Structure 1
């Protein structure tokens, strides 16, 4: 199932099973049946329907969302080999730690809110009739060192735009990892028909603005005194990337 595909359900039972798995990211098959309170027959029928539509995968009794957001890529730069791939629920802890590491100086406000949302919802990927959330991660020896996140509204009037955040741990910067993560996010968005991505940064984060500008982003607007950083009011620079 693609993240841009809005899920539809033929029965209430199928919807309830999907919603439980979607909200929890991954769940044991028997646990799902208990929580949605269906008879064994009704549960099996609903699950078979979801499996046949490609909405859910069953890995030895563990149910997960079946989102197809691309393949695994391996890169090497200056002797460092790293992998860029779609994130999965096992990345949860490393992903939150990495986002918090990057936003620890208090200036990457959007990334801070992404980390808080992850912690609140306790799931890496979301995909429902209201929103979708896709993460790509950069890893070294299995450890998450960077991310690219796309927040995708499902409302028809907004479905051609998405919010993008990207970041790399400080100790791994300067090796092109952020650029590769950005490229992965842009390529995915373009392939899936998006016309514009957006991001917002405080005006004091000059390095972030330069990074975005170097990758084709432009300033779309400024909101005066929108943030309060270290007790000071700071402008918000609203940036956008528009596909040709």
Structure 2
């Protein structure tokens, strides 16, 4: 199932089973069966329907969303070799910690809110009739060192635009990891029919604005005194990338 495909359900039972898996990110088959308000026959019929439509994957009794968001890529630069791939639910702790580390100075406000949302929902990927999100991660020896996040509204009037954020742990910067993550997000968005991406940063984060500008982003507008950072009112710079 593609992340831009809005899931549809032929029965309320199928919708209930899907929602249970989607909300938990990954769940044991027997736990979903226990949580579902369905008799065993209805549960198996609903699950079989979801598996046949490619909405859910059953990996040895563990149910996950079957989202197809791309392949695994290996990159090398200097002495650093790293992997960029779609995030999995077992990346959860490393992803949250990486986002928190990158936003620890209090200026990457959007990233802070993403970390809090992840913690609240306790799932890496979301894909339902209201919202969808995709993460790509950069890893070194299995450790998450950076991310690219795409927030994908499901409302028809907004489905050609998405919010993109990207970040890399400080010790790995200067190796092109952020650029590769950014490009992975741009390529995915273009291939899936998006016409515009946006990101908003505080005006005091000049390095972030320079990074975005170097990758083809432009300033669309400024909201005066939108943030309060360290007791000071700070403008928000709204930036966009158009395909």
Check if 1:54 corresponds to 2:54: yes
2-structure distance, mates of 1:113, 1:239? 18
- Identify the residue that residue 103 of structure 1 maps to in structure 2: 103
- Which residue of the partner structure matches residue 132 of structure 1? 132
State the alpha-carbon separation in 1 of the partners of residues 206 and 197 from structure 2.
20
Map of 1:26 onto structure 2: 26
Instruction: Name the SS for the 1:71 alignment partner.
Output: coil
- Partner of 2:161 in structure 1? 161
Shift of 1:34: 0.7
* CA drift at 1:123: 0.1
Which residue in the other structure is 1:35 paired with? 35
TM-superposition CA deviations, 1:189-224 (whole Å, max 9, x none) = 000000000000000000000000000000000000
The DSSP-based 3-state class of the residue aligned with 1:241 is strand
Query: CA offset at residue 73 of structure 1?
Result: 0.1
Q: Matched residue of 2:199: which SS?
A: strand
| Alignment deviations for residues 107-153 of structure 1 (CA, whole Å, 9 cap, x no partner) | 00000000000000000000000010000000000000000000000
Name the CA distance, whole Å, in 2 between partners of 1:176 and 1:182.
10
1:79 Cα offset (Å) = 1.6
Runs of at least 5 residues in structure 1 that lack an aligned partner in the other structure: none
Answering whether residue 235 of structure 2 is matched by residue 235 of structure 1, we say yes
TM-score normalized by the length of structure 1: 0.99
User: What TM-score results when the alignment is normalised by the length of structure 2?
Assistant: 1.00
Alignment of 1:111-126 (within 5 A): 111-126=111-126
Q: Give the drift of 1:37.
A: 2.1
Per the alignment, in what secondary structure is the counterpart of residue 90 of structure 1? helix
Give 3-state SS (helix, strand or coil) of 1:175's partner.
coil
- 1:9 corresponds to which residue? 9
Count of aligned positions: 243
Whole-angstrom distance in 2 between the partners of 1:82 and 1:178 = 12
- Separation (CA, whole Å) in 2 of partners of 1:185 and 1:57: 24
Equivalence for 1:205: 205
